[in-house]
Amino acid sequence: MLEQRIQQHFIDSADLKYQAGPLLSKPIAQAMQALLACVTSGGKVLACGSGVSGLLAAQFAAQFVGRFERERPELGAIALPGDTTDPAADTADANDADRFARQVRALGQAGDVLLALSASGQSAAVLAAVEAAHARDMTVVALLGNAAGGGASSSPGGAVGRALRETDVQICVPHERAARIHEVHLLALHCLCDGVDAQLLGEQEGSI
């Protein structure tokens, strides 16, 4: 029984990724170009998210500054500190909703990119960060979802998705389970790192 439950997790995760690939490949490619344009013009990426999304934002920043799979010059990225200990922080009622926005206003400049993650699409802190980024003439790349309990089911990407501009990029995972959304967000972040490296360094022999 337990082994069947574990196997079902693998099946569900693989099924969602297989279904989401054709849907998300175009916005991921657009996000990749936005990141590339940013770093090649001397800009930086500010990444943020609450709960598990904050951990993914930190991982992305570490791989962008350091390395993904190949050695290369450092790329500018900063993970904005927030609440990564409470998975429930990714909601409209999260405390200190201005915590990311203050950092965006302090660090963000025109030409920078805000990489915003929210499995529910309803994070008040992420929404405020998006609004602050727009005020700084930054492009927003938003990795979103419709996690149950976030009130986002009626609108893909929730409140954060509705706040995006035409010049922003939305990567919205069509699912209501946060764990599955986070898994696809991680894969999307790996695609972004790999794509930027491929554009900067050329295709690696033997790679995809």
Q: Which amino acid is at 53?
A: S
Q: What is the pLDDT of residue 179?
A: 96
DSSP for residue 159: H
What is the rounded average pLDDT of the residues 77-101?
75
For residues 69 and 73, give the distance between their C-alpha atoms in angstroms, rounded to a whole number. Answer: 13
Question: Which is nearest to 133 in space by CA: 161, 154, 110, 162?
Answer: 110
- Mean pLDDT over all residues of the chain? 91
Q: How does pLDDT run across 105-139, given as a tens digit for each residue?
A: 999 999 999 999 999 999 999 999 999 999 999 99
What is the rounded average pLDDT of the residues 133-146?
97
What is the rounded average pLDDT of the residues 22-37?
97
- When mean pLDDT is compared across 26-35, 53-62, 84-93, the lowest value belongs to 84-93
